[in-house]
Amino acid sequence: MKKLLISCTVLAMLLSSCSSDNDDNSSSNPELTMVTSSNTSGKVTYVNLLDPSAMVKSFTISSLDAEGISYNPMSDTLIVASRTNNRLEAYSGVKAASSSGATSLSLSINGSNLDFTNARETAVSGNKVVVVQDQLASNGLVNKLLVYQKTATGFTLLNSYTTSFKLWGIHMEGNDLYAVVDLTGDIVQFKNFMSNASGAITATKRVTIEGIVRTHGITYSAKDDLMILTDVGSATSDTDGGLVFIKNFMSVFASMANMGTIALSNQIRIYGPNSQLGNPVDVGYDNVTNTTYVAERLNGGGKVLSFANTTVSGDATPLTVRTEAGVTSIFVIRK
């Protein structure tokens, strides 16, 4: 869990993460699109937040359980990592379906089955898609990062990497991959990620985020040099989650030694009952409005939350709250 925040300087060529931060805000027909997936409903949602009516459209897809959603407004295609079918799936014609009142999307292309099981997040860079496999008995307790090439007819597996730690959220920034270390408060960086040969891969740097119990969602805005992480806390508590913002992230991260700690003094933190954050599993960001969007999995059975520009730590109240059963991933992109 996608990946947008979004980094897409040239959108047709570059989409970064399942969570997103958009650095190209010029368009004759501007859109601010948010898409989400669910692991219980078999549906995805789509909404153009710049539409005055801003109606959320819900579509049934081929997967009951989907993670790692991303969306490309240039091709009008969304991608999910199917946990039902254990493959990547792409669905095109989302805007047309929204306009026509359709209630389902037809699968346009898909990858081969069983390259992975127990998929989590995805990250997108150009026509390449990175998928996280979290360890499970069905996959031999192996944690993987898989790289696919998207073509007009399918997804071709290019590389497969194994890690010694559990994975969840990932984000591609240029040639570097940032990932959370599940069950910890740590994040790692893999420099020049896709230049590695298949096999076991070692992180370039690993750091601890002080105060985080269990990090999950991750996204980065190059425009704001802002890293956003989610903390799900205890998996069984629907009230102990939070958001962590790290400003001037690149310099802060560069100043850390491997296995160092990013202190609370370098963080802005949103925690507390007013936030409605319990298990925030994924996060997206719009760098024009400085709004953060969150997939909250546990509180109320699933909610999509948004938060205004955050400058001080505290128990912030969401700008918007939308109930969405089983929401697992969120992606926000502006064009």
The answer to whether residue 11 is domain-embedded is: no
**Domain around 65:** 32-334
Q: Which pair of tokens denotes residue 152?
A: 């007009």
Q: Are strands 205-209 and 261-262 parallel, antiparallel or unpaired?
A: parallel
Domain holding 311: CATH number? 2.120.10.30
- Answer whether 325's CB lies under 8 Å from 303's CB: no
Predicted pLDDT of residue 201: 97
Predicted pLDDT of residue 39: 96
Going by the DSSP 8-state scheme, the letter that residue 83 receives in this structure is: T
- Answer whether 334's CB lies under 8 Å from 31's CB: yes
The answer to whether residue 190 is domain-embedded is: yes
What is each CA distance from 104 to 60, 98, 148, 153, 302, in whole angstroms?
4, 10, 26, 21, 21
The answer to whether residue 22 is domain-embedded is: no
Predicted pLDDT of residue 20: 58
Q: pTM for the complete prediction? A: 0.92
Q: Are strands 291-296 and 303-307 parallel, antiparallel or unpaired?
A: antiparallel
The answer to whether residue 26 is domain-embedded is: no
The answer to whether residue 16 is domain-embedded is: no
| Consecutive 10-residue averages of pLDDT for the chain (335 residues) | 38 43 60 97 97 92 97 96 96 95 95 90 96 95 97 94 97 97 98 97 98 98 98 96 98 98 98 98 98 98 97 97 98 95
Q: Give the total number of structural domains in the chain.
A: 1
The answer to whether residue 3 is domain-embedded is: no
